[in-house]
Amino acid sequence: MFDSYSRGIYNFLLLKTRGNRDVADDLLSETFLSAHKSLSGLKHNQNLNSWLIKIAHRRFIDYQRKQAREQKILQTLEPPKKDSKEWDDEIQDKKKTVLLNLAIKNLKHTYAQILQMKYYEGLSINEIAEKTDKTASSVQNIMFRAKEALKKEIRKISRGYGRD
């Protein structure tokens, strides 16, 4: 059976794989292995060549599905491609975040709490006032002093790291 039909099936698979001989060879082997396993399912009057083409086509579709799954997995594992400017920007953003978090940790508890509620939790002045049992104007005053203290702390930390 193999000798009689392999060339035609191979040429069919070469077309399907766009000339990829290695894949066509693998699929040809899988086709004849599948055919051998399901030979008992072949109907007496069925054309053997069209039956083998149908099996080869199914093996090719299986191959394409497997390739698509593997490609999807690889895409999830690969980090997105970035140019050096994007990496530099990302590093700078991370440095700024670390600097900001360090500066906030060095503030008085009340200042840090108000800033975190406003900028990390996204609360309004009135919501912060409710949560802290203070008036809105008191929260605004604390916010102003907290921002000033934060600026000073950032400058102090930056000088310690050799920045201006």
* Dist CA 91 CA 155 (whole Å): 19
Distance of CA 81 to the CA centre of its chain: 11
Tens-place pLDDT, residues 108-153: 999 999 998 998 889 999 999 999 999 999 999 999 999 999 999 8
Phi, psi torsion values for 93, nearest 5 degrees: -60, -40
Q: Which two tokens stand for residue 14?
A: 């070469």
Fold of 2-77: Rna Polymerase Sigma Factor; Chain: A (1.10.1740)
Tens-place pLDDT, residues 33-79: 888 888 777 776 667 788 888 989 999 998 889 888 888 777 766 66
Altogether, the residues listed in the chain come to a count of 164
Q: Which two tokens stand for residue 87?
A: 């990496």
Residue with tokens 């949560």: 131
Q: Which class does domain 85-160 fall in?
A: mainly alpha
* Dist CA 147 CA 164 (whole Å): 19
The pTM score is: 0.45
Q: Which two tokens stand for residue 74?
A: 């690889």
Instruction: Parse the chain into domains and list their residue ranges.
Output: 2-77, 85-160
